Amino acid sequence: MASSGVLLSSGPAQAAISPGRVQLCAQGNYAAYLVFNTAQQDQQGISTATVSAGSCQTFNVVNFGDGTQTGISVIGKYNTSSGTFYVGGLNVVPTAGGWKLFAKGTTANSGAGSWLEIEATPRS
């Protein structure tokens, strides 16, 4: 399992992500994608498109309804195979402020060289 360091910070207003949205930036040496599920992980996961290393893409947070929190998992893709590894994740209120997720590090040591940084949109 990958190590999962988390840095929470607030970014500048111009970099804010809209409520109900999440931006994934693949800043490591690997591509990554998101999987949405309920916080209890009791639904079939819904995957996003893959974000290439060095780029960012923004997605709508899946809302499972009934006030259920949405679990967001960041999954890395190995460069030399079709295998994947867990980078990190968080549970969010799907209609709350936006998030930026930065998949960092390397695929070294079966993905243990990867980590996730989280930037929350400032609240007003």
| CATH (domain of 32) | 2.60.40
Sign of CA dihedral 33, 28, 103, 10: negative
Query: For residue 106, what pLDDT is reported?
Result: 95
CA atoms of 18 and 65, how far apart (whole Å)? 19
Query: Does 60 fall in a domain?
Result: yes
**Measured torsion, CA atoms of residues 94, 33, 1, 90, in degrees rounded to the nearest 10:** -10
Query: Does 4 fall in a domain?
Result: no
pLDDT beyond 80 at 12 = no
pTM of the model: 0.85
pLDDT tens-digit readout, 25-57 = 999 999 999 999 998 888 889 999 999 999 999
Query: Does 6 fall in a domain?
Result: no
pLDDT tens-digit readout, 44-103 = 899 999 999 999 999 999 999 988 899 999 999 999 999 999 999 999 999 998 999 999
Query: Does 40 fall in a domain?
Result: yes
* Counted domains in the chain: 1
Give the domain range for residue 40: 21-120
Query: Does 88 fall in a domain?
Result: yes
Contacts of 110 (CB under 8 A, 6+ apart): 2, 85
